[in-house]
């Protein structure tokens, strides 16, 4: 398998004694898949937000951070919030934070305050923008309120809050959308603490899932990009075209076609929510691909 395929994705958990070596390889490849994009747009000034970290006792630590343009703002603001959350051992998923911060472009970053509390297990993102009228539909895939100006800067397919909600729900959390006092919106991401999770989930010993094809995986006529899409499905647990498009930096229509091809080959299946999840054969194929990297 050529060098391009060797640079696929990271964070894939694979059950075998070679899992650690595989994870190292995948982590080293992550930079290529998730490389930051730059463009020649004229930078705009005046984008700034406040971040408040609330301790268990005492006053919050408040800082102000600025960015040059909307795309830079998403990366910079999300990175800062994730670092603050992890610094206090919080568990709010990075993907949920990034998608919600990116959604601030709809509010033109007006009056943004991001509050981190409950030891990093709750993040509240408020703004003074036009607000979110239809809060239920705002989390539906394909429903977008992006303006023409915003579409120049973001994906604009109406997936951000839906992806954020799915990310927090995967770890037992929730996403709440409310009106801000005096105008604007408030989005709260909250997840259970580590101790709460342990109380709900009694420790069990999990056996690695049996491989459906332990000796060899049937030969599949799929492209290198489709292999990357398959690994994205395994990495994320369940995905829609928007997630694949964002991770692989391709169009949503291309991601949709690639997922359809994978489904035709029996490598992914559609669950009740309409998202794609990996099949046993798809999991075995990913492991077979990674096996070639460590041999």
Q: Same domain for 64 and 177?
A: yes
Residue 42, pLDDT score = 37
Total structural domains within the chain: 2
- Inside any domain, residue 21: no
Give the separation between CA 67 and CA 71, rounded to whole angstroms. 9
Confidence band for 219, pLDDT divided at 50, 70 and 90: low
For 228-274, what is each residue's pLDDT tens digit?
888 888 888 888 898 899 989 999 889 999 999 999 888 899 887 78
- Is the per-residue pLDDT at 1 higher than 70? no
Q: Residue 264 contacts by C-beta under 8 Å, 6 or more apart in sequence? A: none
- Average pLDDT (131-140) is 72
Q: Same domain for 133 and 259?
A: no
Q: Same domain for 53 and 156?
A: yes
Q: Same domain for 104 and 127?
A: yes
- Inside any domain, residue 40: no
- Is the per-residue pLDDT at 20 higher than 50? no
SS3 18: coil
- Average pLDDT (155-171) is 73
Question: Of 173, 198, 223, which closes a domain?
Answer: 198
Q: Same domain for 55 and 188?
A: yes
Give the separation between CA 8 and CA 203, rounded to whole angstroms. 32
Top-confidence residue, 180 or 24: 180
Residue 82, pLDDT score = 94
- Inside any domain, residue 172: yes
Q: Same domain for 150 and 235?
A: no
- Inside any domain, residue 169: yes
Q: Same domain for 233 and 127?
A: no
- Average pLDDT (106-127) is 93
Question: Of 198, 219, 245, which closes a domain?
Answer: 198
Q: Same domain for 82 and 157?
A: yes
Quick one: CA dihedral 54, 128, 105, 160, positive or negative?
A: positive
- Average pLDDT (160-182) is 88
- Inside any domain, residue 278: yes
Query: Which segments of the chain does DSSP mark as H helices, in order?
Result: 3-6, 19-33, 70-87, 94-102, 148-151, 160-170, 194-200, 224-236, 241-248, 252-264, 280-294
Question: Of 149, 172, 198, which closes a domain?
Answer: 198
Q: Same domain for 189 and 217?
A: no
- Is the per-residue pLDDT at 166 higher than 90? no
For 61-89, what is each residue's pLDDT tens digit?
999 999 988 878 888 999 999 999 999 99
Residue 254, domain CATH: 1.10.10.10
Residue 117, domain CATH: 3.30.565.60
User: pLDDT averaged over the chain?
Assistant: 75
Q: Same domain for 65 and 163?
A: yes
Give the separation between CA 64 and CA 243, rounded to whole angstroms. 30
Top-confidence residue, 159 or 230: 230
- Inside any domain, residue 36: no
Q: Same domain for 265 and 160?
A: no
Give the separation between CA 130 and CA 74, rounded to whole angstroms. 19
Residue 62, pLDDT score = 94
- pTM, two decimal places: 0.51
Which of 52-56, 103-107, 108-112 is the least confident region? 103-107
Residue 162, pLDDT score = 79
The range of the structural domain enclosing residue 216 comes to 3-16+208-294
- Inside any domain, residue 11: yes
- Is the per-residue pLDDT at 206 higher than 80? no
- Is the per-residue pLDDT at 155 higher than 70? no
- Average pLDDT (2-28) is 42
Q: Same domain for 249 and 190?
A: no
- Inside any domain, residue 217: yes
């Amino acid at each position: 398998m050529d060098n391009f395929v060797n640079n696929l994705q990271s964070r894939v958990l694979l059950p075998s004694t070679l899992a650690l070596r595989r994870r190292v390889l995948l982590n080293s490849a992550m930079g290529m898949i998730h490389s930051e994009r730059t463009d020649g747009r004229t930078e705009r000034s005046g984008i700034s937000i406040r971040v408040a970290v609330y301790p268990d006792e005492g006053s919050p630590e408040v800082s102000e951070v600025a960015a040059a343009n909307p795309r830079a703002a998403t990366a910079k603001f999300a990175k800062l919030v994730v670092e603050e959350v992890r610094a206090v051992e919080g568990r709010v998923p990075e993907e949920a934070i990034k998608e919600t911060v990116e959604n601030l472009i709809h509010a033109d970053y007006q009056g943004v305050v991001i509050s981190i509390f409950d030891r990093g297990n709750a993040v509240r993102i408020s703004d003074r923008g036009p607000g979110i009228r239809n809060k239920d539909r705002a989390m539906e895939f394909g429903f977008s309120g992006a303006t023409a100006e915003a579409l120049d800067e973001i994906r604009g397919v109406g997936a951000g809050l839906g992806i954020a909600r799915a990310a927090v729900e995967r770890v037992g959390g929730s996403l709440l959308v409310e009106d801000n006092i005096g105008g604007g919106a408030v989005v709260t991401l909250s997840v259970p603490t580590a101790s709460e999770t342990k109380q709900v989930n009694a420790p069990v010993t999990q056996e690695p899932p049996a491989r459906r094809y332990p000796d060899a995986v049937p030969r599949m006529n799929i492209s290198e990009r489709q292999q990357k899409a398959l690994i994205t499905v395994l990495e994320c647990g369940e995905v829609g075209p928007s997630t694949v498009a964002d991770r692989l930096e391709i169009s949503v229509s291309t991601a949709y076609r690639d997922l359809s091809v994978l489904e035709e080959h029996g490598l992914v299946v559609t669950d009740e929510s309409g998202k794609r999840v990996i099949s046993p054969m798809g999991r075995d194929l990913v492991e077979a691909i990674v096996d070639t990297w460590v041999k």
